[in-house]
Amino acid sequence: MTKRSYEIDQMISAKAIAARVEDLAREITAHYEGTEKLVVVGLLRGSFIFIADLVREIGLPVEVDFLEASSYGDAMQSSREVRILKDLRGEVAGRDVLVVEDIVDTGFTLSHVTALLRSRGPKRLEVCALLDKPSRREVDMKATWTGFTIPDEFVVGYGIDFAQSNRNLPYIGKVRFTEDT
C-alpha cells in the first residue's frame, strides 16, 4: 500500500527573513513618516508572525488590527470567491493604513480586501506582502512592498500553513510530496 506524505525543504532561512523584515520596516517607516498613527492590518491567519516581527521594526506609532478572509480552507486550491470571516475592530476612514499579507498567489484575496478597505475612505492604503508568486497571478494585484518573490511552490512556515500545520517553523520551507510504500 502506498501512503502519501511530505517533507519540507528549507527555502528562506530565519536569518534571511529577519534581515528582509528590517529592510521592509525601514522603507515603510520612511514612507509614512510624520503620520499620526499607522493602522497595520494583518490578514489572518498566515500573517500573524510576519506582522509581529514587522511592527516591532516600524519606528512610528502603530495600531494593530486584524481581518480574516476565507482562502484555501484546508486544501491547496485557491478559491475565487473571497468572504470576510472577521472584520476589523477599528476605523480606517481618513487614516494611514498598511495591509500585511503572507503570500500573494492568484491575487483574489488582496484585491477583494483592498477594494473593501478603500471603499471606507482611508487617507493612504498600501500593502506589504512577505511572499509573491507572480507566476500564479489571475488578477492584477501588486503589493507596494514584497519581501521575497518565489516560484510556484507550495510553502509553509513563519506563520504559513499546510492544512493547519507547520505555521510554527521559524523559516519558509517548500513542501515536497513523497510516496511511502
Q: Which residues are catalytic?
A: 105
Single out the residue of 150, 144, 125, 158 nearest to residue 27, CA to CA.
Answer: 144
Q: Based on CB atoms, which residue is closest to ligand IMP, 95 or 174? A: 174
Binder of ligand IMP out of 29, 35, 106, 144 (CB under 6 A) = 106
For residues 38 and 58, the answer to whether their CB atoms sit within 8 Å is: yes
How far, in Å, CA of 154 to CA of 151, rounded? Answer: 9
Binding flag, residue 107, ligand IMP (CB under 6 A): yes
Cell match 472577521: residue? 86
Which residue number, 35 or 136, has a Cβ lying nearer to ligand IMP?
Answer: 136
* Contact pattern from residue 45 through residue 64 relative to ligand IMP, giving x for each residue in contact according to CB under 6 A and a dash for the rest: -x------------------
Return the number of the residue (40 or 103) whose C-beta is nearest ligand IMP. Answer: 103
Q: Which residues contact 59 (CB under 8 A, 6 or more apart)?
A: 25, 29
Number of residues that bind ligand IMP (CB under 6 A): 16
Give the three-class secondary structure for 116.
Answer: helix
148 binds ligand IMP per the rule CB under 6 A: no
Q: SS3 of 148, please?
A: strand
Among 160, 169, 172, 173, binds ligand IMP (CB under 6 A): 160
* 104 sits near ligand IMP (criterion: CB under 6 A): yes
Report how far Cα 162 is from the mean position of its chain's Cα atoms.
15
Q: How far is the CB of 33 from ligand IMP (least distance, A)?
A: 28
Q: DSSP 3-state assignment of 173? A: strand
Pairwise CA distance, residues 85 & 70, whole Å: 6
**Binding flag, residue 105, ligand IMP (CB under 6 A):** yes
**Chain contacts with ligand IMP (rule: CB under 6 A):** 46, 71-72, 78, 101-109, 154-155, 160
